[in-house]
Amino acid sequence: MSSEGGIRLDKWLWCARFYKTRTLAADLCTAGRIRVNGRKTQKAHYAVKRGDVLTLPQGAQVRIVEVLAHPERRGPASEAAMLYVEREA
């Protein structure tokens, strides 16, 4: 788990395996469907940091997750699950 700065929101969502493609993640960001710390963002390049809380749609449900780490690569699901912790609504 790399850098101490931020990582692009669309890249983090893709690496954490919330969305199948980075393009889909970017489209949801620019449509204002993703919230970071309770605020809508319309920028796929928003810098996500450790401790940020993301609210995002996934299928018919809305998920709330806290960012724990930055990925070095898009790995298997078991590796992706270590990037966040699920929160209750």
Nearest to 74 by CA among 13, 8, 28: 13
Which pLDDT score, from 0 to 100, does residue 83 have? Answer: 96
Q: Is residue 1 included in any domain, yes or no?
A: no
CA torsion through residues 4, 5, 9, 14, sign: negative
Structural domain span for residue 44: 7-87
Q: Is residue 65 included in any domain, yes or no?
A: yes
Q: Which CATH number covers residue 55? A: 3.10.290.10
Write down the pTM of the prediction: 0.90
Consecutive 10-residue runs of the chain (89 residues): their mean pLDDT? 74 96 96 96 95 94 96 93 91
